[in-house]
Amino acid sequence: MLPVVIAGVALRSRLFIGTGKFSSPAVMAQAVEASGSDLITVAIRRVDIDAPSDSTLSALDLSRLHLLPNTSGARDADEAIRLAKLARAACGTTWIKLEVTPDPNYLLPDPIETLRAAEQLVKLGFTVLPYMNADPVLAKHLTEAGCATVMPLAAPIGSNLGLRTRDQIGIIIEQASVPVVVDAGLGMPSHAAEAIELGADAVLVNTAIAIAHDPVTMARAFRFAVEAACLARDAGPGDRAVRARASSPLTGFLRDEGSA
């Protein structure tokens, strides 16, 4: 399996993990380990920079993992930029998962403010991975703004509904010139496999693992599903069709003509 390359960094696993919603930092760290993931995202608003050892960050093996701070909680571009700057100072990385979600209920990404923030953050030297609705035109705009990936949602955050935006994501993948990471709404390993089989470069999962009865086992299940889908893609799947062959072929007349 080839690694996914984001802004020049090769990541072996195509499963990224969100760290919110776990019952404890210890369980979160075990689940991350079991997932085989190389990249984890952390809400900077939850990190207590004044605390000598923030519980979320200190639970993780940051020598092995790529840390992707996110701006969740930001309602507009200005707030997201402030959080991104804080993340850079606190975590020592210029990578930022850009989340601008003005509506606290469905946490749907604001396309206008996300694009505005992305343009400015790129200028400020950040490597920007934007969370976005599954809008192919917006994906193009964000790519042109210099984003390192696009991260369209499968379904609203935390909904576990699966790949509801499948057709739109298919178009984004078809037209993509940066990696496409399907983010939010993947509720079961099969959903993650479906996204990878569709051609996504990676998936990001949080709720489905964090709130499972056994998060560590669920993390392993997602790992296997993503690996299986990657293998299947590499193996070159056969064409799929459910089609009966007509007993009187439509082009039968061509043969008739030839034999006449």
Range in contact with other proteins (rule: CB under 8 A) among 39-47, 138-146, 171-179, 228-236: 39-47
Smallest separation (angstroms) from other proteins to the CB of 73: 6
Query: Please, which residue, 156 or 199, has the CB nearer to other proteins?
Result: 156
Total residues contacting other proteins (rule CB under 8 A)? 30
22-27 LR contacts (CB < 8 Å, sep 24+): 22/210, 22/215, 23/210, 23/215, 25/55, 25/56, 25/58, 25/59, 26/59, 27/215, 27/216
75 interacts with other proteins by CB under 8 A = yes
53 interacts with other proteins by CB under 8 A = no
- Kindly report the CA angle at 199 between 138 and 43, in degrees rounded to 5? 60
List 21, 85, 97, 140, catalytic entry = 97
25 interacts with other proteins by CB under 8 A = yes
74 interacts with other proteins by CB under 8 A = yes
Dist. CA 258–CA 248, nearest whole Å:
16
Site for other proteins in 1-20 (CB under 8 A): 20
Residue 204 pairs in a beta bridge with 16, 183
255 interacts with other proteins by CB under 8 A = no
Site for other proteins in 100-119 (CB under 8 A): 102-106
CB 77 within 8 A of CB 52: no
Dist. CA 28–CA 41, nearest whole Å:
12
Which of 186, 215, 214, 221 lies closest to 202, judged by CA?
A: 186
Smallest separation (angstroms) from other proteins to the CB of 103: 6
Smallest separation (angstroms) from other proteins to the CB of 77: 12
Figure out which of the listed residues 9, 124, 211, 228 binds other proteins, where binding follows CB under 8 A: 211
Query: Please, which residue, 150 or 210, has the CB nearer to other proteins?
Result: 210
CB 249 within 8 A of CB 41: no
Range in contact with other proteins (rule: CB under 8 A) among 2-10, 142-150, 178-186, 204-212: 204-212
CB 51 within 8 A of CB 72: no
Smallest separation (angstroms) from other proteins to the CB of 244: 38
Tokens of 84: 């991104």
Smallest separation (angstroms) from other proteins to the CB of 45: 4
User: What is the β-pairing status of strands 9-11 and 4-6?
Assistant: antiparallel
**Active-site annotation holds for 97:** yes
* Cα dist from 80 to 75, 133, 157, whole Å: 7, 17, 18
217 interacts with other proteins by CB under 8 A = no
User: Catalytic residue numbers?
Assistant: 97
Which stretches of the chain bind other proteins, using CB under 8 A?
Answer: 20-25, 44-48, 73-75, 78-79, 82-83, 86, 102-106, 158-160, 207, 210-211
